[in-house]
Amino acid sequence: MPKLNENYLNVQDSYLFAEIARRVSAYEELHPDKAGSIIRLGIGDVTRPLTKSAVEALHKAADEQAVPETFKGYGPEQGYAFVRKAVADYYRRNGVNVDPDSVFISDGAKSDTGNITELFAKDNVILVPDPVYPVYVDTNTMDGKQIIYMNGTEENNFLPMPDESVKADIIYLCSPNNPTGACYNTEQLRKWVEYALKNDAVILFDSAYEAFVSEPKLPRSIYAVEGAKKCAIEFCSLSKTAGFTGTRFSYTIVPEELVFSASDGRQMSLHDMWNRRQSTKFNGTPYIIQYAAAQVLTEEGMKECMENISYYMENARIIAETLKKKDIPFTGGVNSPYIWFKCPGGMESWELFDYLLENIQVVGTPGGGFGVNGKNYFRLTSFGTHEKTKEAMERFDRLF
Ligand SMILES: Cc1ncc(COP(=O)(O)O)c(C=O)c1O
């Protein structure tokens, strides 16, 4: 009989979205007349289609695969040089230098933030913010690793800062944040980098929403901070930037400077370890997708993506405007597609979920699903249409 990885017994059921779906179906069954008017502002998936130039690039690359002269089989596990360079060029245009050799192409920030745990031993002190994108917690739990939480609260604007009394080895940061929409400034990230360098820790920085940063002073990469290449790995993705949630393209930056001592004193490079891991367990993102991604990452390609992002951010503005009018405290919506607000009237998040569904047929995401600090908060997303977002917020306005 196989001995199973019993750490899986400690992973919570992926309860949040299943429970939302269950409650919505129960409501629809009970109120078939209202089913058609339900508006979903809980989704974390994009709704705008791929940009024109991305689609053209997909077609062109598909055509290349049709003839022997340009056909491509297995590619480099790290990604094609042309796309690794396209990522580095994209960073350079945003004022940050990264070495194309430190860029690893992958099929999702979810996969890479999950798989990176393999590089670290079990007995690390792992620091994770609460509320949090659940993947960081679940993947470490699957490995049997212990997690320490740092509180994201109204007092720190949902941006936990280093606590010198805690000696962490691995720190997860996500900025702009899912679910809170909060975004660290450079000074705050500098404090994290200083903490990591002082404590010989590694920061796992998830910048999946960097393209939504609208305030030019805010950092879109941890490498905007000096010294970060000695202590941080960065994960990013075209999922939300370019609507690639179904097309799948991401990249992880593991600088060569990330070298730590093994227990016998030998030096181990995280870059080399990740390279070994990817070469052994991953055969690369499809050529067609990499080709399209390289197009997306050009200046012109990104201009088209920004049109879709502006569309979503107009929704965020509509949501934020209503919350402001109602004096409901919130974060996000300016540098992020997410808006995180305090449940009115002291409600708990699932209570507000039912209240909104029952009274105005608007579905959001209860903050309690992202950690204990989300118990009295609620997440709305700007990934819907203008019409539906406007309608939802007009109903919200009438309700409170
Ligand atoms: C913070 C964060 N990181 C990573 C991801 C996953 O992105 P990908 O589609 O690249 O796997 C998401 C998706 O919702 C996310 O919210």
Please return the burial class of 245, using the count of CB atoms within 10 Å of its CB with bins 0-12, 13-18 and 19+: middle
Cβ(141) to ligand 1 under 6 A? no
Domain 6-48+301-399 in this protein, CATH class: alpha beta
Neighbour count for residue 367 (Cβ, 10 Å): 27
Q: Is 108 in the pocket of ligand 1 (CB under 6 A)?
A: yes
Contact 7 CB / ligand 1 (< 6 Å): no
CATH top-level class of 52-299: alpha beta
Whether 239 is in the pocket of ligand 1, judged by its Cβ within 6 Å, is yes
CA 5/CA 44 separation, integer angstroms: 30
Given this model, what pLDDT does residue 252 score?
A: 98
Q: Report the run of H or E that residue 62 belongs to, with start and end.
A: helix 52-64
pLDDT at position 12: 83
Extract the residue ranges of the chain whose pLDDT is less than 50: none
Domains 6-48+301-399 and 52-299 belong to one CATH topology: no
CB of 252 closer than 6 angstroms to any ligand 1 atom: no
Predicted TM-score (pTM) of the model is: 0.97
**Best residue among 139, 158, 239, 365 to mutate for probing ligand 1, ranked by most atoms within 8 Å of CB:** 239
What is residue 338's three-state secondary structure?
strand
From the CB of 206, is ligand 1 less than 6 Å away?
Answer: yes
DSSP 283-321: --S-HHHHHHHHHHTSHHHHHHHHHHHHHHHHHHHHHHH
Distance CA 111, CA 179 (A): 19
Give residue limits of the domains in the chain.
6-48+301-399, 52-299
Query: Ligand 1 center to residue 45 CA distance, Å?
Result: 10
Asked if residue 110 has its Cβ within 6 Å of ligand 1, the reply is yes
For residue 43, the model assigns a pLDDT of: 79
Which is the closest atom of ligand 1 to the Cα of 245? 9
